[in-house]
């Protein structure tokens, strides 16, 4: 699927308390400005490639029909590896890494594809508490650097500690608010 310019497409939801405009496409948002980090599967965890090769694959949308990577794309991958603090793992086989290290690699790959938005699908699902905290701090830093982060998570308390806004969905009850508003007013109602 390619997402180029889709003029005036907006997704709007009317939630319990206020309307939420989730994403407006067409204001300069291109396919190579959206990074995606999917849930990991057992097959992905055993992928026999180096950290650098996996991160570099995040630049594929920029290659178009070119059968090779440019110096610019290689440098982009190296910069993303550096930003994630995994430079020492650059030539290491991906499948030998810990779960937290693998998530950093995949986040670096997503960074190669974006300058605006990263979508994360359960990025902390199989991480230990230390790796989870480190991952949340990385995401928070990316957000402070100007990248919009949209994350799907069942870790409500962890997400509340680091997210600026929360879209909480539970059966018929949905709410969109700041993390602070959620903590002070809606938590007890929604968890019943």
Q: Residue 22 pLDDT > 60, yes or no?
A: no
- 6: tokens are 């889709």
Which of the residue ranges 73-77, 81-85, 131-135 would you say has the lowest mean pLDDT?
131-135
- Rounded to 5°, angle at Cα 147 from 102 and 54: 30
Domain assignment present for residue 190? The answer is: no
Q: What does the DSSP assignment read for 129-179?
A: HHHHHHHHHHHHHHHHTT-EEEEE-S-HHHHHHH-SEEEEEETTEEEEEEH
Q: How high is the pLDDT of residue 177? A: 84
Q: How high is the pLDDT of residue 32? A: 67
Q: How high is the pLDDT of residue 28? A: 62
Domain assignment present for residue 10? The answer is: no
User: Which residue reads 């359960």 in tokens?
Assistant: 122
Q: How high is the pLDDT of residue 10? A: 34
Mean pLDDT over the full length of the chain: 78
Domain assignment present for residue 82? The answer is: yes
- pTM, two decimals, is 0.74
**Spatial distance between the Cα atoms of 21 and 30, rounded to a whole number of angstroms:** 18
Q: Residue 5 pLDDT > 50, yes or no?
A: no
Residues 45-67 pLDDT 10s: 777 899 999 999 888 877 777 77
Q: Domain total for the chain? A: 1
Domain assignment present for residue 4? The answer is: no
Among 23-32, 112-121, 170-179, name the most confident range: 112-121
Domain assignment present for residue 58? The answer is: yes
CATH number, residue 62? 3.40.50.300
Q: Residue 146 pLDDT > 80, yes or no?
A: yes
Q: What does the DSSP assignment read for 87-133?
A: GGGTTSBGGGS-HHHHHHHHHHHHHHT-SSEEEEESTTTT--HHHHH
Structural contact between residues 177 and 165, judged by C-beta atoms closer than 8 angstroms: yes
Domain assignment present for residue 73? The answer is: yes
Q: Residue 104 pLDDT > 50, yes or no?
A: yes
What single DSSP character describes residue 191? Answer: T
**Average pLDDT of span 10-14:** 36
**Spatial distance between the Cα atoms of 48 and 54, rounded to a whole number of angstroms:** 10
Which uninterrupted H or E stretch holds 44? helix 42-45
Domain assignment present for residue 68? The answer is: yes
Supply the range of the domain harboring residue 128. Answer: 30-154
User: Which residue reads 């605006």 in tokens?
Assistant: 116
Domain assignment present for residue 60? The answer is: yes
Residues 106-137 pLDDT 10s: 999 999 988 788 889 988 887 888 888 888 99
- 139: tokens are 């995401």
């Amino acid at each position: 699927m390619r997402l180029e310019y889709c003029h005036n497409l907006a997704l709007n939801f009317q939630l319990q308390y206020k309307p939420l405009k989730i994403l407006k496409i067409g204001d300069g948002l291109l396919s190579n400005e959206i990074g995606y980090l999917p849930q990991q599967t057992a097959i992905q965890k055993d992928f026999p490639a180096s950290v650098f090769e996996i991160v570099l694959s995040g630049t594929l949308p920029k290659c178009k029909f070119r059968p090779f990577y440019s110096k610019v794309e290689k440098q982009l991958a190296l910069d993303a590896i550096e930003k994630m603090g995994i430079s020492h793992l650059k030539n290491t086989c991906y499948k030998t890494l810990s779960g937290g290290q693998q998530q950093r690699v995949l986040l670096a790959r997503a960074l190669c594809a974006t300058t605006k938005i990263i979508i994360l699908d359960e990025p902390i699902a199989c991480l230990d508490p230390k790796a989870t905290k480190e991952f949340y701090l990385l995401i928070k830093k990316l957000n402070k650097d100007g990248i919009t982060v949209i994350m799907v998570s069942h870790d409500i308390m962890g997400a509340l500690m680091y997210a600026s806004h929360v879209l909480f969905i539970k059966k018929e009850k949905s709410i969109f608010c700041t993390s602070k508003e959620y903590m002070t007013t809606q938590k007890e109602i929604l968890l019943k």
